[in-house]
């Protein structure tokens, strides 16, 4: 994590996050590093559908038609976060950390991670195999960090 903060600082890149299933774990892992204040712009935990709609301005129809755990919702989260925060890189996370709540179409461990930098948008679909909620959250954070690293 220290190397990520160093890279972001060196390149003067600000980062913002909108987290759902990780509940702030990604923001916590970044802000636990000394010097993170130079790069960390904004962290939102939009856990409920209502907060996704009210704070991130995700269209209700997206959640109704596709669900909160969908590439469509993840994209709306990251695009709207980018507008709110004006950060160089915006990240959104939405998924099912379990151990309950999964279905055949959307199993426990299904997580979408969105990244927006400039006009580039990446939506990464991940299925983390674990019945342990914390394990899925930690794997999500690790993957999000890898995605950020690959884009800076």
| Digit-coded pLDDT (tens) for 115-133 | 999 999 999 999 999 889 9
Q: pTM for the complete prediction?
A: 0.97
Q: What confidence tier does 40 reach under pLDDT thresholds 50, 70, 90?
A: very high
Rounded to whole angstroms, the Cα distance separating 47 from 120 reads 25
Q: Which domain holds residue 82?
A: 2-150
- Phi/psi for 90 (5° steps) reads -115, 145
Rounded to whole angstroms, the Cα distance separating 113 from 97 reads 13
* Residue (of 144, 28, 150, 8) closest to 77 by Cα position: 144
| Digit-coded pLDDT (tens) for 61-108 | 999 999 999 999 999 999 999 999 999 999 999 999 999 999 999 999
| Digit-coded pLDDT (tens) for 3-39 | 999 999 999 999 999 999 999 999 999 999 999 999 9
* Residue (of 112, 58, 111, 120) closest to 89 by Cα position: 120
Burial 37-48 (b: 16+ CB within 10 A, else e): eebbbbbbbbbe
**Peptide bond connecting 99 to the previous residue in cis, omega within 30 degrees of 0:** yes
Q: What confidence tier does 48 reach under pLDDT thresholds 50, 70, 90?
A: very high
CATH of the domain at 77: 3.90.950.20
* Residue (of 18, 140, 133) closest to 68 by Cα position: 18
Burial of residue 67 (number of CB atoms within 10 Å: 0-12, 13-18, 19+): middle
Q: Give bridge partners of residue 115 from the DSSP assignment.
A: 91, 122
Domain count, the chain: 1
Q: What confidence tier does 145 reach under pLDDT thresholds 50, 70, 90?
A: very high
């Amino acid at each position: 994590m220290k190397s990520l903060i160093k890279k972001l600082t060196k390149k003067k890149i600000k980062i913002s996050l909108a987290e759902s299933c990780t509940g702030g774990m990604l923001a916590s892992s970044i802000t636990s590093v000394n010097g993170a204040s130079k790069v960390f712009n904004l962290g939102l935990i939009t856990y409920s559908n209502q907060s996704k709609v009210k704070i991130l301005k995700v269209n209700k129809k997206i959640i109704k038609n596709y669900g909160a755990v969908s590439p469509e919702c993840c994209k709306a989260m990251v695009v709207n976060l980018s507008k709110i925060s004006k950060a160089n890189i915006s990240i959104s996370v939405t998924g099912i950390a379990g151990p309950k709540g999964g279905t055949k179409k959307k199993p426990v461990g299904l997580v979408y991670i969105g990244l927006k930098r400039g006009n580039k948008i990446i939506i990464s679909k991940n299925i983390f195999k674990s019945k342990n909620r914390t394990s899925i959250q930690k794997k999500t954070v690790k993957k999000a960090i890898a995605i950020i690293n690959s884009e800076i």
